[in-house]
Chain A
Amino acid sequence: MRVTWSGGDLSFRLDPEDEITGRASDEYPVKLAINSCTIGGVPGDAHPDLFAVAAWTVVAPWTRRRVTFDRAISAEVAAALHDGWGVEAGPVGAEPRRPGPTLGISYSGGADSVAAAAIFPEAPFLHFRRVPHRRIPNRWPHYRSDVLARLAAATGREVTTVTSDLEYTLAEPRPGYPEHHAVAAGALLLADRLGLGGLGFGYEIGSRWLGGGRYLHRYTPDNPMWSAHGKWGRLFAAVGVPLVLPVGGVSEATTMRLALGSDLRAQVRWCLQGTDGPCRNCGKCLYKEIIQAAVERRPLDTPVTADRPFARKWLRKPPYGGQEMIEYGLARIPGVENTILGPALDYFEATEESTSWLDHCYPPAIEEIPQAWRARVAAFMTANVGLMTGDEARRVENWGS
């Protein structure tokens, strides 16, 4: 793989051994659509390691043996790429970047990143806004990134919005981040400008510890995407922007509760399609409504019917990503047996007691937060959430086994 930056324009060429179909860090096969993208709203003079890692968040799935950057990188970044992915990276010849003093928050506006933001009320936001790719027809106009950017700007925080079409480098399964970390590509390039010494994400216990999303669906202490000592954690640390997961030890029920109780409540939006409010009629809205109804202990309020494909997703036989929140909902939503979620009761024997661990914080998640921000998270979790007991922590550690 050979990478070239021109300002914020990234282009890359495949080496002979590289192929159109690659694999993301969660082993999911991804197909390349095009070998160029643009990141707007970023400076052109960032540290060369930042350019390298920003590019790597895009090209990693399609790189087999080596990656050649257009400017020299530090030996530390080359080593992180070699140890993590087994690729030869070069040329080498730059001094490593020193971390700054500031924690930035990669802010999407969803409940999870709002909860992370609530723990750090002074942290500046970095918001990724999708824009169309000039060479790819936009078949996804219902994705309202403009609405989310407007909400982010309305938070009153210091917000830096990065515009990018990098999601269109992915042909299959659909446009999206080639690696989950590509959401941070712009934030990395802004790290020098904002003095970043860490980047906070809203990834919660499901993503970090339970192998959620499209990953293994079992306990993953060595998660390659999000653990501090995983390959991505080490790579981000090598450029002085370590991963910080302030809500990595709590469930989506807890992030929902924290987000709706925070100053940013009015700006919380998980729906990517609604304009004046959440559309209530998409898969995301249904899933989050299940969580919100459970948290507020009220009946499910959704117009979604069981014949919608995204509704059927929650009626499958487990395991699947997000399963812990379905169990949580089944145990807490009044009259759930008469809702579209009713059939899921066949697969679970969830009770409030068996799902109470999802109301507390998994202590090892606090341990892996960089020292500069650990005490704040520990204090916040102790005061607002409560730590898991030994039994509860074992629910995490036996997940999926």
Chain B
Amino acid sequence: MMRALVPARLRKAVRTWFDARYISVADHRQDLKDALWEVQTLRREVTGLQGEVERLRKAVAARPQQAPAADKARLDDTHRLAQETARALDGVLQNEVLVWQAIDDLRARQAAAAPGTGEERPCA
């Protein structure tokens, strides 16, 4: 290696020039600290967002049960009403059969009591 004697003043000027081109160790430390802080902040934010996603997911899952709960009550009620109406109609139709039975019976008695005036009609 060749060594050359350089005047101290010049050496210092060159060194200062070089040093100015690089970040100091202290600055590096600070940068790392800042980056770490940034990462920790981001971690907190991500955790918060994950919680939010979880909360929304649960809300979505809960919704189909919540909304149909109202629908289900209405459906159950409609079903009940349909069943009761159909059962009630069964009774009405059966009564209709019995009413015709009674009418035919009365007619037959009338015809028997006053022969010639009663008119027995065929059914239906």
B31 close to chain A: CB less than 8 A: no
A to B contact number (C-beta, < 8 Å) = 56
**Chain A window 16-55, contacts with chain B (Cβ cutoff 8 Å), 1 for yes, 0 for no:** 1010100000000001111110000000000000000000
How far is the CB of A34 from the nearest CB of chain B, in Å?
5
**Segment touching A, from B8-16, B18-26, B65-73, B85-93:** B85-93
B100 close to chain A: CB less than 8 A: yes
B101: chain A residues at CB < 8 Å are: 13-16, 18
B122 close to chain A: CB less than 8 A: yes
**Segment touching B, from A132-140, A182-190, A355-363:** A132-140
A11 close to chain B: CB less than 8 A: yes
In the assembled complex, the Cα of A34 lies from the Cα of B91 at a distance in Å of: 10
Q: Is the CB–CB distance between B97 and A2 below 8 Å?
A: no
> Residue A6 contacts which of B85, B100, B105, B124 (CB distance < 8 angstroms)?
B124
A20: chain B residues at CB < 8 Å are: 94, 97-98
Interface size class of chain A, counting residues whose CB lies under 8 Å from the partner chain: 20 to 34
In the assembled complex, the Cα of A13 lies from the Cα of B123 at a distance in Å of: 6
Contacts A137-B86, A137-B89, A171-B90 given; does A14 touch B97 at CB 8 Å: yes
- Chain A residue, CB-CB nearest to B101: A14
In the assembled complex, the Cα of A14 lies from the Cα of B95 at a distance in Å of: 12
In the assembled complex, the Cα of A3 lies from the Cα of B94 at a distance in Å of: 17
A314 close to chain B: CB less than 8 A: no
In the assembled complex, the Cα of A3 lies from the Cα of B124 at a distance in Å of: 9
In the assembled complex, the Cα of A33 lies from the Cα of B101 at a distance in Å of: 14
27 example contacts (A-B, Cβ-Cβ < 8 A) are as follows A2-B122, A4-B122, A4-B123, A11-B123, A11-B124, A12-B123, A13-B97, A13-B104, A14-B97, A14-B98, A14-B101, A15-B101, A18-B101, A20-B94, A31-B94, A32-B94, A33-B90, A33-B93, A33-B94, A35-B96, A35-B97, A35-B100, A70-B122, A137-B82, A137-B85, A137-B86, A139-B86
Binding site for B on A (CB under 8 A): 2-4, 6, 11-16, 18, 20, 31-36, 70, 135-137, 139, 171
Binding site for A on B (CB under 8 A): 82-83, 85-86, 89-90, 93-94, 96-98, 100-101, 104-105, 122-124
Additional 4 contacts, C-beta under 8 A, given A11-B124, A32-B94:
A31-B94, A32-B97, A33-B90, A139-B82
